[in-house]
Chains A and B, each alone.
Chain A
Amino acid sequence: SQQGEEDPQALSIQEGENATMNCSYKTSINNLQWYRQNSGRGLVHLILIRSNEREKHSGRLRVTLDTSKKSSSLLITASRAADTASYFCATDASPKAAGNKLTFGGGTRVLVKP
């Protein structure tokens, strides 16, 4: 099965609320990345957290990484209608010389209602 799996698969919240989604993976990683995709469009990189980091912030985004549990979470605070999108975690477990191979999870579809 895939390296990264997101939970929940879908999330519906009111504008202003926080949205939390989780990602679990199976093998040791170099880093874990979160991406956003608006319907039928390309992915946009949100944040990268390295295996030796535990928490990272970027604007309204907060990412945590627990390598002992092989899991990560993405928190979006004070959500806006424009945050409606699918969110994917991607893990990079490539050997150092092998290239940047990302393995994506199935994504969490987030709907922020005005």
Chain B
Amino acid sequence: ETGVTQTPRHLVMGMTNKKSLKCEQHLGHNAMYWYKQSAKKPLELMFVYNFKEQTENNSVPSRFSPECPNSSHLFLHLHTLQPEDSALYLCASSQSRNSYEQYFGPGTRLTVT
């Protein structure tokens, strides 16, 4: 276990549904991240939060809405997704903003039907 948990581990949703992914880290880190991992594509950074403030939005469509209520929790709210959004969504945290390794959760396997 890396100290980063994600729920749910698997999610199937229709294109009109609204769902949320949850990430929690128990490491006392200050920065949290959302990544998308699709088949045959490199891992893509989506959002970065540092001390609860969003510091990076990597041109992510607005149908993905992140929320970071505190340094330990990170959510990704999903609505009106497309089938091409099906992927493994990974959450990570790190000790501070610069030059530290990131600790990843196990991911949520999302399927959009």
| Interface residue ranges, A against B (CB under 8 Å) | 2, 4, 30-31, 33, 35, 40-45, 48, 50, 88, 90, 92, 94, 96-107
Whether B98 lies near A94 (C-beta < 8 A) is yes
Per-residue interface assignment for chain B, residues 82 to 101, with 1 indicating a CB less than 8 Å from any chain A CB and 0 otherwise: 00000010101010111111
Contact of A30 among B88, B94, B99 (CB under 8 A): B99
Nearest CB in chain A to that of B6: its residue: A42
Residues of B in contact (CB 8 Å), total 29
Whether A106 lies near B98 (C-beta < 8 A) is no
Question: B56 → chain A, closest Cβ, in Å?
Answer: 6
Nearest CB in chain A to that of B55: its residue: A99
A102 to B100, CA, bound (A): 10
Contacts of B6 in A (CB 8 A): 42
Whether A105 lies near B42 (C-beta < 8 A) is yes
